[in-house]
Amino acid sequence: MISLYLSNSILYPDDLAMLQRVFGEVCADGCHATNSAEAELIAGTLFNLFQNGTADEAMLLAELRLRQQDYFLKTG
C-alpha cells in the first residue's frame, strides 16, 4: 500500500526503508492488513508527515500512534 505513495517520489534507500518500517509497525499495532483501507490512510498520513519535514523514525511512529489512538477514541 505504501508503494502507491512512493511511486512518484525520489527517496534515498535509507528513507524508503525507514518509511516501510514505520508503516509496518503502525499497521501491526492496529492489526491492519497492509492492503486494507486503514493501511491506505496510514500510508498517506505517513508520507504527508515525511514530506512536510518529519523525518525522524521515532517521531513518525509517535505521531502515527497518537493519531491512531485519537481515531479509536473518537470512533469507539
Of the candidates 19, 23, 29, which has an alpha carbon nearest to the alpha carbon of residue 50?
A: 19
Residue 55's pLDDT band (cuts 50, 70, 90): very high
Mean pLDDT of the residues in the chain: 88
Do residues 64 and 22 make contact, with C-beta atoms less than 8 angstroms apart?
Answer: yes
Predicted local confidence at residue 5, as pLDDT: 57
| 49/33 Cα distance (integer angstroms) | 21
| 27/29 Cα distance (integer angstroms) | 5
Burial of 60 by CB count in 10 Å (0-12 exposed, 13-18 middle, 19+ buried)? buried
